[in-house]
């Protein structure tokens, strides 16, 4: 069973000294070094370290902020370790999930994350309820202005339906839908080219 260490600094100007010494003192078999912001969820060296882990291995860091900047990100990683039967150790925070206290920490972290998600949900629902009471229309705003402009252009210009669609930012099917509501339907009328050939052209006709 391997003991894998991971350490991170944000820039190349920072040093690994304290992290590296602590990991060596712990007795890690291999250390992955990373120069990257902790806010990034995707980090090359962290991914390499995680992918090298096997059931029964131990993943060691110096402090929690070297692994994740937020509760949610940390919890996702801890859940992954738990599912894969990997022990997790944070030296400075005195966390070791192979011990009863370490497993207790994992449980508390999960409870806090769940509570945070529930509080966010309650705030969202409360905000929506308050908005409805104030008469605020929720959801996607209706395309009233675009439709009115499209119908105006359809009746008073020679623009094609496709051109009107692009100009007004609505689909041709939406335009035809509202035309039908006004009793106007697409029909085919016959016109003739300069050579006398028949040509079918779409037009709108009231019925």
Residues involved in catalysis: 10
With beta carbons less than 8 A apart as the criterion, state whether 7 and 34 touch.
Answer: yes
> Backbone phi, then psi, for 12, in 5-degree steps?
-75, -10
Burial class of 196 by CB neighbour count within 10 A (0 to 12, 13 to 18, 19+): exposed
Tokens of 116: 């945070």
The half-sphere exposure of 65 on its side-chain side, counting CA atoms within 13 A, is: 4
Angle (deg, nearest 10), helices 144-156 and 161-168: 150
**b vs e for 39-66, b when ≥16 Cβ sit within 10 Å of the residue's Cβ?**
eeeebebbeebbeebeeebbbbbbbeeb
């Amino acid at each position: 069973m391997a003991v894998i260490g991971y350490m991170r600094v944000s820039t190349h100007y920072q040093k690994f000294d304290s992290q590296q010494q602590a990991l060596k003192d712990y007795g890690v078999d291999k250390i992955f070094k990373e120069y990257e912001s902790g806010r990034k969820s995707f980090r090359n060296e962290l991914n390499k370290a995680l992918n090298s882990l096997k059931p029964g291995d131990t993943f060691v860091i110096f402090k929690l902020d070297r692994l994740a900047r937020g509760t949610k990100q940390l919890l996702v990683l801890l859940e992954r370790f738990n599912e894969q039967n990997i022990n997790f150790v944070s030296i400075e925070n005195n966390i070791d999930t192979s011990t009863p206290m370490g497993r207790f920490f994992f449980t508390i972290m999960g409870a806090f994350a769940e509570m945070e998600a529930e509080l966010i949900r309650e705030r969202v629902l409360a905000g929506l309820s308050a908005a409805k009471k104030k008469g605020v229309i929720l959801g996607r705003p209706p395309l009233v202005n675009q439709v009115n402009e499209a119908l105006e252009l359809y009746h008073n210009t020679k623009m094609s339906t496709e051109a009107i669609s692009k100009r007004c930012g609505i689909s041709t099917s939406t335009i035809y839908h509202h035309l039908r509501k006004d009793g106007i339907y697409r029909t085919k009328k016959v016109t003739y080219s300069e050579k006398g050939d028949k040509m079918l052209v779409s037009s709108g006709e009231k019925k």
